[in-house]
Each structure stands twice: as structure tokens, then as C-alpha cells.
């Protein structure tokens, strides 16, 4: 949450910072700002999307070869020009951008006020730059030492970048629990919250670890040290991201592009892992832990948001195919409710970004208590991926739309592979069912293409329902988490209130909401409990609810009952979520577009939630 970018080198910093902030906008977009040092420190910052900053700065002098930039998702202090980053020291010579939360900002602020500091914003961040200024004044040290000493007094999470008028070609960056990547170019350096602002300039990067401070200056290059001032040898990695993957490539929105990419992203996710002809089924990351997995008395999946919904599908999959008990936990609840963790537990962290603060904290806690951690992440090199004992990447490629789509379906793909691997090892899947699922999974990319053909029909349904205020989503079994996910997608991007419910639970409450204005999306591709789903549909119909059903191509009964039917190919039940979720993504997308909502950057949200 919040995006940071910094540059020092021989080029003009401003355009590099703005382009970088564009790439990082998924991390927050309620205000943005840059500080450029060209002899003097100048800061431009503006409330609103990046466009507002660009318009504001367009006739100003933005020249300079060193600078820092920030795109904000407000935590302390409302989104306005003053609270936007960068924040300066009292003497105006130091400037800082920050991602995270300084938890002890109040006592620090009080102490600094007593020493004569005056604050202009409501942010925790401003306290940090005044603290660095104060330490520098008292200790008479250079910028890097002032940053290091100051951070000893800070409680909380941070990724920070600081520059100073007095050391005009030096950048100091530090991280604790929020990501930072350093790009090494030819006589130039980049620092950013992720690699996307860096990839078009250099492929050589270093992922900073927690508790490390990086100092780059044009004369001495890069140095990394820890909080005790010991040097750390940097580990340089080569980026694999392709630049075109960060562009919309002709689509109106990243979200639509990412919905359309799902056939390929699942193909990429399966590559080298599954092949029915050669009997290949394997997840390299699981190899060393297979015995541990198979012997575990239970698995615990921790995740947030859409990833939590994938985790719920994972519970159905692994319990069904491998007969291992699975618990699925919201990471934020898990970590604070003193959970009972056994040493033979395997904790699976599901996270697109690999940076979600609650999920990261949950695995750290479970690790401390002896559990084995398996990370399923999309972003390569992310914190969760690095802090897990083992893991598997989803290989969905960069997901930029804030509402998660292809990351979700590739998470389901990895979980299906896990279910199959464990089921095979434990002998819990009958041979013919195993074969059916393996072949079905291989055919999913082609079937997704077929599902995309329902888009015109979905646009028509979106037109019909774009002005309603409420939606209900129902599903049973494997489709229950899909109902939850469908409702979440709609809320996130169209701001229509939507609830997902297990279909049978409807009669315990939500049924009271049903009248002739209530659209009810029923995800009804199930073979098991099919009659029960029909009964649930009848219950809605009897109260004049308007039914939009997702069914399989062969279903004629629901076709008769529902007001609108979207048909998808028939696949073995454990694979149905992979297809059934796609019409729901498209429905929320088209409703949001018709309501003129900012699909890729919905209000109040951010893609990577690095605060708790």
C-alpha cells in the first residue's frame, strides 16, 4: 500500500518518477507527489489521481537528476495536498517518502514538538523526517547515519526513501515489513516498491531485506548495511518481467485484459507441472515437503480478500481429493486470536502480491511456533515467497487491475494441483476420477476461451441490472466460495452492495431481502446436491426474485426456471470454480463500466495492502 519510487543518475528524474508512479498506482491513488533536488529541494504534491499532480506540475520547474516520488493510500490523515508525500524536514533540506505505519508516532511527535519542531500534516510520516533531522542536528552525522539511528527509535512498518540537499547525489532507503527493490543501471540507480517502475531501465535488481538500509550515491555506487551498521553483501537478481505485460495492449482496462488472459495464465501455471500423456504431475516447490504434507494432520490456509476465497475453494479441493482436514483463516483474525499451531501443521499462505501485511505477519507467527510454511504467490521475489520454507508461484504474470481476476484462477489451479498430488500420494482418489480431473484441468485454458464467448450476453444482463442497489449471490459446495467472490468483485468495482451466501443458508436470513427488484445470481453448475439447488432457485422464484443462473451447457431444468442463464462447459465438479468465476468477473466489469466507475482503480481500495 502506497507506492514509492526514487531515482538518481544522469537523466532527468521527474519523467522517470512520474512513469514509475503510474506503474505503482495500483498500490494507492488518493494523492501523489514528488520531491526533486536541483541545488534546492522542491516538492510538488496533489490530492487525487496522478493526473492531478501532472497537471499541477506541468508549468513548473521540475529539472533535477535526483528525486523521490509517492502515490498514497491514506492511513493517518485524510487524502489532501498537505498529507500527500513527500514530507520535508523543518529546515526544508530533507525529503522523505514512506510506505507503512509508524505506530509510535504520537510519543515521537510530542518529544519533537518539545524540541521546537512544528508539524504541518496529520501524518505519521512527517514525524519520521523531523526525527531524522533532529538526530542529524544533535549527533552531527551524515544522512545515512541519521536514518539508521532514527530507525532505532521507530516502532512500526516502513519502506522509506530519503534525500538531502546537503548530499545531493545520495539516496538512503530502508525497509521493515514493506517491500523495496533497488535497480542498478549504468551510472544510475532506482528504488521502488516493486520492480515494475525499474524494468524498463534495468534488469538488475536487489530486493532489500527487512532491517536493511541501502545507500546509493553516484560516486561510490550501492552499499547495504544492517541496523547495527554491519555491511551486507547484496544479492543481485535478474528481472524476468516483460514490459508489454505492464501495458493495456489495446484493452480498455487492465481488468478486462486480465480476464481475457486467463486461458494463457492458467496454461503458464500448468506448464511443466501437468501432462496427462507423460503422466507428469508435479509442483517443484512441494517436492521436499511432500511427506510433511501427506503426514500433516491438518493444513491451515491463511489469506485475505480474493485470495481467501481461493483458500476456501482449496479447502473443498484438498479435503475432497486428499482427505486432509483444511482450515481456512483470514490472516488478520488468525494472527490475533492466539491460534493453536502444532509443529506438524503445514500453513499455506495464499497471496497474489506476496506482500499483504496480515498474511505476512500470520506466517511469521506460525513459523515461530514451528509450523512449516508453504507460500503460493504471484509476485516473484515477494516477501511471503521469500519467507516461506517452500512454495509455488502461480505464474499469472503482473496483475495490475486492483480487482483480482487471473491471480485468483491461477491460485485455484495451483490448489487443484496440490489436491491431485496429495490425493495420489495418499491413495484417496479413485483412478478414473483422477484421470478425469487431470484431463479436465488440461482442457481448462481452451474451455475458458469458450466461456469468454458469453461476454455479449453478459453485457446485456449488465445493462438490465446496472441501476440496482443490491445483489445476492448464491452457491453450494465448490460454488459457494465462487458466490462470495462474485459478490466481492461487484462491490469492489461497481459500488453496488452485494452479498455471497451458501444457497441453503439463504432461508436463515437473506431470503427476507428478496422481492421483485432483487437480482439473485445462482452459481449452479453442481452435479452433487443439484436438486437442492433447484429447490433454492424455486424459493427465490416464489418471492419474485430475478434469477441469473450460471449453469452447464447440458442443463435444461434451470434454463426453464431462471430469468437469465449463462451456460458454461461441463467439467468435473472440482474444476467448476475455474470456469464459473469468469462470467461473474465479466458481469461486475460490465456493470462497473456502465456505471462509469474507475474499474482499475476503485475508490478507497489498493491492490497491495501492506498495512495491517
Helix (H, G, I), strand (E, B) or coil at 551: strand
Binding status of residue 605 toward ligand G6P by CB under 6 A = yes
Q: Using alpha carbons only, what angle is made at residue 319 by residues 318 and 321, rounded to the nearest 5 degrees? A: 65
Within residues 148-167, the interface with ligand G6P by CB under 6 A covers: none
Compute the residue count for the chain.
Answer: 612
Comparing CB distances to ligand G6P, the nearer of 283 and 357 is 357
Binding status of residue 565 toward ligand G6P by CB under 6 A = no
Within residues 394-413, the interface with ligand G6P by CB under 6 A covers: 402-404
Q: Which stretch binds ligand G6P (CB under 6 A): 217-225, 276-284, 347-355, 455-463?
A: 347-355
Question: What Cα–Cα distance (Å) separates residue 8 from each residue in 169, 266, 336, 607?
Answer: 7, 39, 41, 27
* Least Å from the CB of residue 156 to ligand G6P: 20
Strands (E), 218-370: 221-226, 231-232, 237-238, 274-275, 280-281, 299-303, 326-330, 346-351
| C-alpha gyration radius of the chain | 25
* Least Å from the CB of residue 353 to ligand G6P: 3
Q: How far apart are CA 489 and CA 458, in angstroms?
A: 15
* Least Å from the CB of residue 158 to ligand G6P: 19
Q: How far apart are CA 78 and CA 84, in angstroms?
A: 9
Q: Which residue from 150, 178, 353, 494 is in contact with ligand G6P, where contact means CB under 6 A?
A: 353
Residue that has been written with the C-alpha cell 496483475 in this structure: 399
Q: Which residue from 4, 304, 362, 376 is in contact with ligand G6P, where contact means CB under 6 A?
A: 304
Binding status of residue 585 toward ligand G6P by CB under 6 A = no
* Least Å from the CB of residue 362 to ligand G6P: 11
Binding status of residue 352 toward ligand G6P by CB under 6 A = yes
Instruction: Report helix angle 125-139 to 143-151, nearest 10.
Output: 120
Q: Which of 2, 304, 377, 597 is catalytic?
A: 2
Strands (E), 9-155: 31-38, 40-47, 66-72, 87-88, 94-102
* Least Å from the CB of residue 403 to ligand G6P: 6
Of 134, 224, 218, 137, nearest in space to 173 by CA: 224
Comparing CB distances to ligand G6P, the nearer of 183 and 354 is 354
Binding status of residue 363 toward ligand G6P by CB under 6 A = no
Catalytic (active site) residue 607: yes
Q: Which stretch binds ligand G6P (CB under 6 A): 3-11, 389-397, 549-557, 603-611?
A: 603-611
Q: Which stretch binds ligand G6P (CB under 6 A): 76-84, 239-247, 353-361, 577-585?
A: 353-361
**DSSP helix, strand, coil percent of the chain (3-state; round to 5):** 40, 25, 35
Residue nearest to ligand G6P (CB): 305
* Least Å from the CB of residue 401 to ligand G6P: 9
Q: List 182's β-bridge partners, or say none.
A: 191, 206
Within residues 491-530, the interface with ligand G6P by CB under 6 A covers: none
Question: What Cα–Cα distance (Å) separates residue 559 from each residue in 212, 566, 567?
Answer: 60, 9, 9
Q: Which residue from 306, 388, 409, 552 is in contact with ligand G6P, where contact means CB under 6 A?
A: 306
Residue that has been written with the C-alpha cell 485455484 in this structure: 412
Q: Which of 47, 406, 491, 607 is catalytic?
A: 607
* Least Å from the CB of residue 577 to ligand G6P: 15
Helix (H, G, I), strand (E, B) or coil at 480: helix
Q: In the complex, which residues of this chain contact ligand G6P (CB under 6 A)?
A: 304-307, 351-353, 356, 359, 402-404, 605, 607-609
Active-site residue set: 2, 607
Amino acid at each position: 500500500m502506497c507506492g514509492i519510487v526514487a531515482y538518481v543518475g544522469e537523466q532527468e528524474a521527474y519523467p522517470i518518477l512520474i512513469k514509475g508512479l503510474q506503474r505503482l498506482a495500483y498500490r494507492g491513488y488518493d494523492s501523489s507527489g514528488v520531491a526533486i533536488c536541483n541545488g534546492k529541494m522542491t516538492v510538488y504534491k496533489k490530492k487525487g489521481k496522478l493526473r492531478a499532480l501532472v497537471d499541477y506540475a506541468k508549468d513548473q520547474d521540475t529539472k533535477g537528476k535526483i528525486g523521490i516520488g509517492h502515490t498514497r493510500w491514506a492511513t493517518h490523515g485524510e487524502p489532501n495536498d498537505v498529507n500527500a508525500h513527500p514530507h520535508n524536514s523543518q529546515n526544508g533540506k530533507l525529503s522523505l517518502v514512506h510506505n507503512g505505519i509508524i505506530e509510535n508516532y504520537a510519543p515521537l511527535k510530542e518529544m519533537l514538538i518539545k524540541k521546537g519542531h512544528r508539524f504541518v500534516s496529520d501524518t505519521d510520516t512527517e514525524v519520521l523526517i523531523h526525527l531524522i533531522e533532529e538526530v542529524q542536528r544533535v549527533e552531527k552525522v551524515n544522512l545515512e547515519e541519521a536514518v539508521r539511528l532514527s530507525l532505532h527509535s521507530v516502532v512500526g512498518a516502513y519502506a522509506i526513501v530519503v534525500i538531502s540537499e546537503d548530499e545531493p547525489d545520495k539516496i538512503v532507503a530502508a525497509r521493515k515489513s514493506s517491500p523495496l527493490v533497488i535497480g542498478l543501471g549504468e551510472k544510475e540507480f532506482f528504488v521502488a516498491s516493486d520492480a515494475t517502475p525499474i524494468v524498463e531501465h534495468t534488469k538488475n535488481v536487489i530486493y532489500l531485506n527487512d532491517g536493511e538500509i541501502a545507500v546509493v550515491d553516484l560516486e561510490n555506487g550501492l552499499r547495504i548495511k544492517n541496523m547495527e551498521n554491519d555491511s551486507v553483501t547484496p544479492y543481485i537478481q535478474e528481472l524476468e518481467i516483460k514490459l508489454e505485460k505492464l501495458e493495456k495492449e489495446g484493452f480498455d482496462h487492465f481488468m478486462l485484459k486480465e480476464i481475457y488472459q486467463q486461458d494463457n495464465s492458467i496454461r503458464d501455471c500448468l506448464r511443466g507441472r501437468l501432462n496427462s500423456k507423460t503422466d507428469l504431475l508435479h509442483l517443484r516447490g512441494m517436492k521436499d515437503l511432500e511427506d510433511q504434507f501427506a503426514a500433516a494432520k491438518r493444513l491451515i490456509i491463511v489469506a485475505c480478500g480474493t485470495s481467501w476465497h481461493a483458500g476456501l475453494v482449496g479447502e473443498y479441493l484438498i479435503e475432497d481429493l486428499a482427505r486432509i482436514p483444511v482450515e481456512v483463516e483470514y490472516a488478520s483474525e488468525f494472527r490475533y486470536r492466539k491460534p493453536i499451531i502444532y509443529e506438524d501443521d503445514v500453513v499455506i499462505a495464499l497471496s497474489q502480491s506476496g506482500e499483504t501485511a496480515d498474511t505476512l505477519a500470520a506466517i511469521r507467527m506460525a513459523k515461530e511456533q514451528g509450523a512449516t510454511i508453504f507460500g503460493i504467490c504471484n509476485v516473484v521475489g515477494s516477501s511471503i515467497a521469500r519467507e516461506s520454507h517452500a512454495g509455488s508461484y502461480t505464474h499469472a504474470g503482473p496483475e495490475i487491475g486492483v480487482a483480482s481476476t487471473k491471480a485468483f484462477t491461477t491460485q485455484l489451479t495451483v490448489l487443484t494441483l496440490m489436491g491431485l498430488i496429495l490425493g495420489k500420494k495418499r491413495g484417496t482418489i479413485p483412478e478414473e476420477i483422477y484421470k478425469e480431473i487431470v484431463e479436465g484441468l488440461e482442457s481448462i485454458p481452451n474451455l475458458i476461451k469458450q466461456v469468454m464467448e458469453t461476454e455479449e450476453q453478459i453485457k446485456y444482463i449488465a445493462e438490465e441490472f446496472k441501476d440496482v442497489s443490491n445483489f445476492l449471490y448464491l452457491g453450494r459446495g465448490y460454488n459457494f466460495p465462487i458466490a462470495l467472490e462474485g459478490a466481492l468483485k461487484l462491490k469492489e468495482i461497481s459500488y453496488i452492495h452485494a452479498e455471497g451466501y451458501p444457497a441453503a443458508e439463504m432461508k436463515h436470513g437473506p431470503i427476507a431481502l428478496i422481492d421483485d427488484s432483487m437480482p439473485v445470481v445462482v452459481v449452479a453448475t453442481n452435479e452433487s446436491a443439484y436438486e437442492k439447488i433447484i429447490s433454492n432457485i424455486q424459493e427465490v422464484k416464489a418471492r419474485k426474485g430475478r434469477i441469473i443462473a450460471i449453469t452447464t451447457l447440458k442443463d435444461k431444468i434451470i434454463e426453464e426456471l431462471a430469468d437469465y442463464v449463462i451456460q458454461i462447459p461441463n467439467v468435473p465438479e472440482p474444476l467448476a470454480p475455474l470456469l464459473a468465476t469468469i462470467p461473474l468477473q465479466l458481469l461486475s466489469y460490465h456493470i462497473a463500466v456502465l456505471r462509469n466507475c474507475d474499474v482499475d482503480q476503485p475508490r478507497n481500495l489498493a491492490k497491495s495492502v501492506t498495512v495491517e
